[in-house]
Amino acid sequence: MKNSNLLIAHGGGPTAVINSSLQGVIEEALKHPEIDKIIGARFGIEGLLDEKFIDLSSQSPDIIEGLSHTPASVLGSCRKKLKDEDFSKVIDIFKKNNIRYFFYNGGNDSMDTCNKISKFVLDSGYDLAVIGIPKTIDNDLVNTDHCPGYGSAARYVAISMMELASDIESLPIHVCVTELMGRNVGWLTAAASLAVRDNKGPHLIYLPERPLIMDKFLNDVKEAYDLYGGVLVVVSEGLKDEKGQYISDCGFIDDFGHKIPGGVSQYLSNEIIRNLGINSRSEKPGLLGRCSMMHQSQVDKTEAKAVGRFAVKTALEGNSGYMVALKRVSNEPYECEIGFQDLEKVANFEKSFPTEWIKPEGNGINSDFIDYCLPLTGGKFPEFIRLKEIYI
Amino acid sequence: MKNSNLLIAHGGGPTAVINSSLQGVIEEALKHPEIDKIIGARFGIEGLLDEKFIDLSSQSPDIIEGLSHTPASVLGSCRKKLKDEDFSKVIDIFKKNNIRYFFYNGGNDSMDTCNKISKFVLDSGYDLAVIGIPKTIDNDLVNTDHCPGYGSAARYVAISMMELASDIESLPIHVCVTELMGRNVGWLTAAASLAVRDNKGPHLIYLPERPLIMDKFLNDVKEAYDLYGGVLVVVSEGLKDEKGQYISDCGFIDDFGHKIPGGVSQYLSNEIIRNLGINSRSEKPGLLGRCSMMHQSQVDKTEAKAVGRFAVKTALEGNSGYMVALKRVSNEPYECEIGFQDLEKVANFEKSFPTEWIKPEGNGINSDFIDYCLPLTGGKFPEFIRLKEIYI
C-alpha cells in the first residue's frame, strides 16, 4: 500500500538493546518506498492515545547510528493497560494517521496489548499489519529461544557477580545477599552462575521457581560461611515462600494488577544477622542492570537490531498478528534463526526457568544452563589474575 | 641496608585500583637490589600476625601486569584493629623475617594502625621504614587532595547514574531512591551530580553532611514528581537524622566500633509510598561500585600505581612515619604532585564534604565540586543520543 505510515511504540521496562531494535526498524523501513512516514509514539500506548507522535524518518544519520549505544528507551515507554473503550479510539487514530504498520516492542504485558489490538483491528476490517517485537530482561516470553535484552542483562549479572565475588573473597567478613531482577522467573538470577570460578562464588543462588524455605536457607548460609568466611548469596527479587507469597515486595501494584517485587535481599540479610549472628549486608543493583551500556552484549545488540529489521520485512510481506521469535539452530558455533509466532500463543504466558536446571538442593544452577546462556552474553568475560600461592 | 625484606599489607575495603598500587610497589621494589624479598601479607594485619606471607618477588610478569585490571584485593584485606598486646608481636615478626620496609595500603582505620606501628617501632629502636599508602572510595583522608580509589568509584557513580536517569526518564512511573556508599562523608554520593544532563536527573542528591529532615525530604520529592513524573533521588548510605542517628544501618558494628550504615534507600522509598502515595522503588548497588573494572578511571589507575612506586622510593630514602599524599598543582590540565604527610596528622581524622559545595536547599551539589571531581574520573563519559523532537 503506497504512502502508508509505520508506527512503533515501546512497552514495559527498557533494556540495553531496545533502541537497537528501533534502529533496525528505522533502517529497514527507510529502504522501502511504500512506507511513507516512520512514526514513534512517545511513552508507549499512552503516546498512541494522545497522538504524541515523533517523526523518526527525519532524524539525522548520527542519531540513528547512536541509538545502539544509548540506554533506556529513547521513545519512552509505559506500563498502561488498554481499557475496553480504548480500542476503538486506537483504530480511529490509526485511520486518521494512515498507519498501516504497527510494531509494539515489549514483554508479556505488551504482547497481550499487541494481541488485543491485532484482533480488534482484524474485526474492524481496517488493513493494518500488527507485529510484536520481543524485549525483556526477564527472558520469560514463550515460543522464542530467548528475548532480546536478556543477553545484555545476563552479561551485566555475570561480570558484576565475578567482580563482587572477588570483593567478598578479598575481605571475607560478611555474607552479602544480592538481589537481581526478573519478576517471577529466575532466568536473570541464574546468570549469576556464569560468574562462578573456583571457590569464589556466588556460593548460593535462589530462583523463584522453588519456594524459599527459611530454615533451609539459613542452614545453607551457615554451612557456606563456615566453609568460606565471606559468602556471596544471589537471590531473585521474585522469591516466594511456601504459601506463594513474595518474601518481600515494593508495596505497590502496577496497571496489570501485578505486585512489584523488591527488597528481599535486605529482608534475608536481616534474617541472617538475627538468626545466625553473622554479619550480613545486602545489595540491589536493580534497574542499573538493565541500562548498563558497558555490559551490552554484542550478540544481543546484533540480534535486537535484526529482530527489528525482520519485523518490518514480515509486515511488508503481509503478515500480521505475530511476534518475531528466535530459534536456536546451533550452539557451537552459536546461531539463531529469526521467525515468528502467533501473538495468541505468546500473550499471557510466562516461561519459567526449567526446574531440571536447578540443582536438587535448590541453591544453585546446573551447567546445562551455562551452555544455553553463555552465547547470549557475547562471552569473552574479563580475565582476572590470582597470585601464585608461594608462601614464605 | 642490604638483604632486607619488604612487606606490604592491605587494610579495609578494596577499590578498583588497590591492586594497581600493589603493582607500583612491586615494580619499583624489583629495581632496587637492596630489597631482597617482596612479601605480601594475606588478609592484612591478620596475615601479618599469622605470618601468612606470600612471595611477590617470584610472581610472573603476566601476573604483575594483570594486577591493574583485577578487582578487589589480590592479597586479601581485613578490618582488624590491633590490640595493645599485638604490637610487640608485630615487631618480633618484622625482626624474625628481616622486614625493613613496611607498607600499609588503606583508609582512615588503616592509617591509624600504620601510625601506631610506626610509633611502636620507633620506640623499640628497630630500624624499619613504615609508610602508609592511601586508598579509599570514601575519599575521606585529610591532607591529600584525594584518595586513590575514589576516582574510579566516582566514575562508576557518574556513568551508572547517567544510565539510570535515562531509564527513569524513559519510563516515568516512579520515584527511584538510590543509595551509594561513603560512610559518614558525601564525596562519593556527590559524584552523582556529574550525571546531570538537562532535566534528566539525578533530581535530588542528599549527603550525610546535612541532617535529613523527613518533612523537607518528602516535600522535595513531591515537587520533583509533580515536575518530572519519574524522579531519581540519590542518597548516601550514611544519612543521619537531626539527632545524628543513621536513618538506617546494617545492624552490626565493625572492629573499630563503627556502626555499618545501609538500607536508607529502602527506608526512604517506603516513606515515599506511605506518606505521598507515590510509587517508589529503591536501588543499592553497594559493593558493586567499588569493584567495577569496567568503570576504572585511567587517571586513578595511573595515580594509584605512581603512589605505590613513590612509597618504595621514599622508604628507600630513609623516610618513615608518613602517608603518601597527592597535591593538585593544576586543574586545566589536571596535574597532581606526589609527596607525603605525617601519619600523625592523617590518622583518626575524617575529611567531610565541604558544606559550601552543597546547594543551600541541601538537595544538590554546586558546580565547584564538578571542577574538583571530573578530572579524577578520567572524564570522557559515554555520549547518549536524544531524538530530535519533531512532532507530527
Q: Please provide the average confidence, as pLDDT, over all residues in chain B.
A: 95
- What sign has the CA pseudo-torsion B43, B44, B50, B53? positive
Task: State the pLDDT confidence band at A256, using cuts at 50, 70 and 90.
Answer: confident
Domain membership flag for residue B383? no
Where a domain ends, among A345, A366, A386? A345
Residues A224, A362 share a domain: yes
Give the mean pLDDT of B323-332.
97
pLDDT digits (tens, 9 = 90+) for A9-18: 999 999 999 9
Residues B124, B12 share a domain: yes
Rg (CA), chain A: 22
CB of A66 within 8 Å of a chain B CB? The answer is: yes
Give the mean pLDDT of B270-285.
94
Residue A338's DSSP bridge partners are: A326
Whether residue B1 is predicted with pLDDT greater than 60 in this model: the reply is: no
Q: What positions of B carry a catalytic annotation?
A: 138
Domain membership flag for residue B390? no
Say whether A312 sits in a helix, a strand or coil.
helix
Are the Cβ atoms of A291 and B43 closer than 8 angstroms? no
* Proportion of chain A above pLDDT 90, given as a percent: 93
Task: State the pLDDT confidence band at A254, using cuts at 50, 70 and 90.
Answer: confident
pLDDT digits (tens, 9 = 90+) for A320-371: 999 999 999 999 999 999 999 999 999 989 999 999 999 999 999 999 999 9
Contacts B8 to A, Cβ<8 Å: none
Q: State residue B198's pLDDT score.
A: 81
Cα B236 from Cα B204, distance rounded (Å): 12
What part of A 89-128 touches B (C-beta under 8 Å)?
97
Residues A267, A228 share a domain: yes
Residues A371, A237 share a domain: yes
- CA dihedral of residues B66, B72, B74, B80 (deg, nearest 10): 160
A227-263: burial string, b at 16+ Cβ within 10 Å, e else? ebebbbbbbbbbbbeeeeebbbbbbbebeeeebbbbb
For residue B174, which amino acid is it? H
Residues A205, A255 share a domain: yes
To the nearest whole Å, the CA of B328 is away from the closest chain A CA by: 30
Contacts A80 to B, Cβ<8 Å: none
Q: State residue B253's pLDDT score.
A: 75
Residues B195, B52 share a domain: no
Q: State residue B2's pLDDT score.
A: 57
Task: Write the DSSP assignment of B14-82 as a string of letters.
Answer: --TTHHHHHHHHHHHHHT-TTEEEEEEETTHHHHHHTT-EEESTTS-HHHHHHGGG--S-SS-------
Backbone angles phi, psi at A196, to 5 degrees: -65, 125
Q: Is A220 a catalytic residue?
A: no
* Proportion of chain A above pLDDT 70, given as a percent: 99
Residues B211 and B244: beta-carbon distance below 8 Å: yes
Domain membership flag for residue B82? yes
To the nearest whole Å, the CA of B386 is away from the closest chain A CA by: 6
Where a domain ends, among A322, A345, A368? A345
Backbone angles phi, psi at A254, to 5 degrees: -85, 180
CA dist B384 → A38, B75, B150, B165, B273 (Å) = 21, 38, 25, 12, 31
Which domain, by its residues, includes A244? 150-289+352-377
Angle made by CA atoms B191, B193, B194, in degrees to the nearest 5 = 75
Residue B42's DSSP bridge partners are: none
Residue A334's DSSP bridge partners are: A331
Q: State residue A20's pLDDT score.
A: 98
Residues B172, B268 share a domain: yes
CB of A61 within 8 Å of a chain B CB? The answer is: no
Burial of B318 from C-beta contacts in 10 A (0-12 / 13-18 / 19+): exposed
Residues B157, B42 share a domain: no
Cα A202 from Cα A231, distance rounded (Å): 7
Residues A100, A61 share a domain: yes
Q: State residue A146's pLDDT score.
A: 98
Domain membership flag for residue B385? no
Give the mean pLDDT of B312-322.
98
Q: Of A63, A176, A388, which is closest to B63 when you measure between CB atoms?
A: A388
Are the Cβ atoms of A392 and B97 closer than 8 angstroms? yes
What are the percentages of helix, strand and coil residues in chain B, rounded to 5? 40, 20, 40
Q: State residue A150's pLDDT score.
A: 98
Q: Please provide the average confidence, as pLDDT, over all residues in chain A.
A: 95
Q: Which CATH number goes with the domain that contains A13? A: 3.40.50.450
Give the mean pLDDT of B29-41.
97
Q: For chain B, where are the E strands, in sequence order?
A: 4-10, 35-41, 53-55, 99-106, 129-134, 175-180, 204-206, 231-236, 249-253, 259-261, 280-283, 322-331, 334-342
Are the Cβ atoms of B387 and A270 closer than 8 angstroms? no
Cα B102 from Cα B212, distance rounded (Å): 42
Task: State the pLDDT confidence band at B50, using cuts at 50, 70 and 90.
Answer: very high
Domain membership flag for residue B22? yes
- Top pLDDT among A24 and B262 is at A24
Q: State residue B258's pLDDT score.
A: 78
Cα B103 from Cα B362, distance rounded (Å): 40
Residues B117 and B102: beta-carbon distance below 8 Å: yes
Residues B279, B238 share a domain: yes
Whether residue A60 is predicted with pLDDT greater than 90 in this model: the reply is: yes
Cα A103 from Cα A267, distance rounded (Å): 40
Domain membership flag for residue A383? no
What part of B 279-338 touches A (C-beta under 8 Å)?
279-288, 290-295
Residues B14, B131 share a domain: yes
Burial of A32 from C-beta contacts in 10 A (0-12 / 13-18 / 19+): middle
Query: In total, how many domains does chain B have?
Result: 2
To the nearest whole Å, the CA of A61 is away from the closest chain B CA by: 11
Query: A281: which residues sit within 8 A by CB, 6+ positions away?
Result: A174, A175, A176, A177, A269, B250, B260, B262, B286, B287
Q: State residue A255's pLDDT score.
A: 74
Q: State residue A2's pLDDT score.
A: 57
Whether residue A1 is predicted with pLDDT greater than 70 in this model: the reply is: no
Cα A104 from Cα A27, distance rounded (Å): 17
Domain membership flag for residue A329? yes
Q: Which CATH number goes with the domain that contains B168? A: 3.40.50.460
pLDDT digits (tens, 9 = 90+) for A140-190: 999 999 999 999 999 999 999 999 999 999 999 999 999 999 999 999 999
Give the mean pLDDT of B164-170.
98
Whether residue B115 is predicted with pLDDT greater than 90 in this model: the reply is: yes
Give the mean pLDDT of B152-169.
98
Q: State residue B291's pLDDT score.
A: 97
Whether residue A253 is predicted with pLDDT greater than 80 in this model: the reply is: no
Task: State the pLDDT confidence band at B370, using cuts at 50, 70 and 90.
Answer: very high
Domain membership flag for residue A144? no
What part of B 188-227 touches A (C-beta under 8 Å)?
none
Helix (H) or strand (E) segment spanning residue A335:
strand A334-342
Task: State the pLDDT confidence band at A262, using cuts at 50, 70 and 90.
Answer: confident
Are the Cβ atoms of A58 and B390 closer than 8 angstroms? yes
User: Model's pTM, two decimal places?
Assistant: 0.97
Task: State the pLDDT confidence band at B29, using cuts at 50, 70 and 90.
Answer: very high
Q: State residue B379's pLDDT score.
A: 85
Residues B266, B205 share a domain: yes
Cα B98 from Cα B172, distance rounded (Å): 63
Contacts A166 to B, Cβ<8 Å: 70-72, 291
